Amino acid sequence: MKTNNSSNDDFRDAFPVIRIDYNKRLLDSNLTALPLLGDWKCRQGSKIPSAIWSSYPELEQALSDQSPSGCKVSFGELQIWFDVVPFPEAGYIGMYGYHIESMVPESMPQKLRMTA
């Protein structure tokens, strides 16, 4: 009988993880972050677009004052909560997703079905 054992790696990969260096370039990410990075028009080694920095000032703040913060990112009909943690000795900030929520109320599909 096969058991379902989940590891820390499985949990970590369920949410986006993004690392950005102090030159504002994407160092790397996990697979879960790829759709968001595609929306940002960003890939490994490329500079994070200035529109992203202006939309999420918490990222710029983590680079400048090197203190951890939080950030809520909109992606399609989702909002993703991130912990933003600077690692100045390693030369990057990490964005660690920990909560994803739909911005569409659950009752919306029901209302749409009722009007059809």
CA–CA separation, 30 vs 73, rounded Å? 17
Q: Give domain status of residue 46, yes or no.
A: yes
CA–CA separation, 114 vs 34, rounded Å? 36
Number of domains making up the chain: 1
Q: Give bridge partners of residue 97 from the DSSP assignment.
A: 82
Q: Give domain status of residue 3, yes or no.
A: no
The string of pLDDT tens digits covering residues 11-48 is 556 899 999 999 999 999 999 999 999 999 999 999 99
Confidence of residue 2 (pLDDT cuts 50, 70, 90): very low
Q: Give domain status of residue 1, yes or no.
A: no
Domain CATH code at residue 70: 3.30.450.20
Q: Give domain status of residue 97, yes or no.
A: yes
Q: Give domain status of residue 53, yes or no.
A: yes
For residue 61, give the H/E element and its range.
helix 57-65
**What's CA 96's distance to the chain center, in Å?**
6
On whether the pTM is more than 0.85, the answer is no
The string of pLDDT tens digits covering residues 46-94 is 999 999 999 999 999 999 998 999 999 999 999 999 999 999 999 999 9
Give, rounded to a whole angstrom, the gap between the first and last alpha carbons of the chain.
Answer: 47
Domain that holds residue 60: 8-115
For residue 97, give the H/E element and its range.
strand 92-102
